[in-house]
A and B are shown apart, each in its own frame.
Chain A
């Protein structure tokens, strides 16, 4: 058991325990969820659910207001509503859900707000000098405040990996606390960037710190580092969430991001959540996919279930 302690804002000592993780065992357990066979009506409900959990994302240096507007249109209507109409009479079918949120840089938040007005779709903004997090704390706070003041409903921050890897857990903790404060009521997702942490033991420890410091969600990756989300790394984080819930009664959300491109992968994640945390976590309030390409693959599979054959790629707009 790895035990560290940090001080909270009131000067109280907080002890954080992290179980060691056996890498072989964790990989093996994760692989088990790739063997689940989800067919027929279970598959259909899983596809709908996964779509409603997507954070449609654009995080490029080349992002423009126009690009963000286009993505927001896709978020509102993943497909034109008339496409699904002929199938609505079928049992278990319903309108295609919107995605859960869009995820953009702070400078793009105002454009997303405008484009999504009245849609109920969340606006997530990355912040804290995403993706590296290598900026002074005040800059990170200002970054966050800008996004929140402009209408972001969710903040995706990155942890200070430099501090984490050098063993300065207090710094990591303090930064999350500061950003949480800047967020106010805005939901905070804490990106661990697991691909830079080097071991599952550290993923577990970083998860514990992020939850203790007040993160509402923990998230695997920025999408800018390989490996991004994997099943085993997500499993390690889900188990940390389960223990935190057991200990405090608080339900922390989970967001794997990067590398999830197919419906098959998405369903494996849902099975893992179902069997690790239980069905009460199977809601966009507590589970998200950070992905873009996934949306169209889900649509492709949904229409396959409706028609019995695959539509070719061009049927679905890119964004």
Chain B
């Protein structure tokens, strides 16, 4: 459970830092009058959506941190045989990174009011994300062809489970990006696209980060790293 505890320590640090800035030491019984910032805080729907996405990413982070914890605990038991990673996974990783970069260019283009740049970025981002999903499916097929079935070794089962969970999150993101793209193709102006593109780009970066961590787990780099740290400590 160390992964989830580390994750929670991070969340707690952010939460306490934020509470501190919100004045958790103030004595409200001494205050009378309109307290708080003189200028109205940003309560636009855009701000609300960004905060909402941040909270949602914390939930997603918790889900994957727990899965990683379960993975490491199960990997410590005797019958674990590491999966030979299908080669296409490395290609997929590159494709997902490209997808993330494409959406980042779309976000930057939206800031510059460059509608052509947004179009190109969103289309490339959606296409590469679809490619990533197709590639992951190919990886599953390749594993099956090599005789690594879901009900076989737990390492294989975890490979299917973790890639599946991650793929579902990418698919969910694609549904939202699809809505943005739909609006874009129907000629929506940049003002109506900016928020959607911005949120999708953030979500894509988070999913890329999560994927890299999962990849580290599945390729057993994390395990090796922990083993090295243990040796150094003992």
Q: Do A and B come from one complex?
A: no
On A, residues with C-beta under 8 Å from B are none
